[in-house]
Amino acid sequence: MGWGSGSTNFPYLVDPLSAIQHRALEDGTVVQYVLDNYDTSLIDSVVSQAEACLVFVNADSGEGYIEVDGNYGDRNNLTAWMRGDDLINEVAGNCSNTIVVAHTPGPILMEPWIENPNVTAVLMAGLPGQESGNSLVDVLYGAVNPSGKLPWTIGKK
């Protein structure tokens, strides 16, 4: 969800990490996570041991009264925010099964990392809602086919 007049308070929220942890308890999977995009030593340590790595990136939009990562309101460009491209490349450099989950209101540029052979999947998850965690788990574990349909085009260059 962006910010401004269109935002709201959720009656409840199932975030991706909580939903993944819940599913992992059911099937005995070990989940490790890093929530700081800038802690490169911890990121490298965690991903080097993993069978699969999920990298969540975002770019958002809202009304022009809040500044986020140099953006006031609408996005300045189509890049992932908060060091997103560098984060994907860093994780993919140490994890041979890197899955990118992008929470964005539209397309993002993928050229900095899409050709990396260790990036095995990209899930364009849109703006997250209150059930975003459960819906992502359904797709990641194969219970639902996301169909590969987007309401916009991702151009190359």
Asked if residues 101 and 128 have their Cβ atoms less than 8 Å apart, the reply is no
Provide the residue ranges of all domains of the chain, joining segments of one domain with +.
Answer: 16-140
Among 22-26, 146-150, 153-157, which is the least confidently predicted range?
Answer: 153-157
pTM of the model: 0.89
For the cut 90, the answer to whether the pLDDT of residue 54 exceeds it is: yes
Q: What is the pLDDT of residue 154?
A: 75
User: What is the predicted pLDDT for the residue at 149?
Assistant: 76
The CATH code of the domain at 16-140 is 3.40.50.1700
Residue with the bigger pLDDT between 101 and 104: it is: 101
Out of 51-65, 97-111, 114-128, 134-148, least confident range: 51-65
Expressed in angstroms, the distance from the first to the final Cα of the chain is: 27
What is the model's pLDDT at position 121?
A: 95
Q: Is the distance from CB of 110 to CB of 132 less than 8 angstroms?
A: no
Asked if residues 131 and 121 have their Cβ atoms less than 8 Å apart, the reply is no
Report the pLDDT value the prediction gives residue 1, as an integer from 0 to 100: 54
Mean of pLDDT over the chain: 89
Walk across the sheet containing 119-124 and list its strands: 53-58, 98-103, 119-124
pLDDT digit string, tens, across residues 117-142 = 999 999 999 888 899 999 999 999 99
Confidence of residue 81 (pLDDT cuts 50, 70, 90): confident
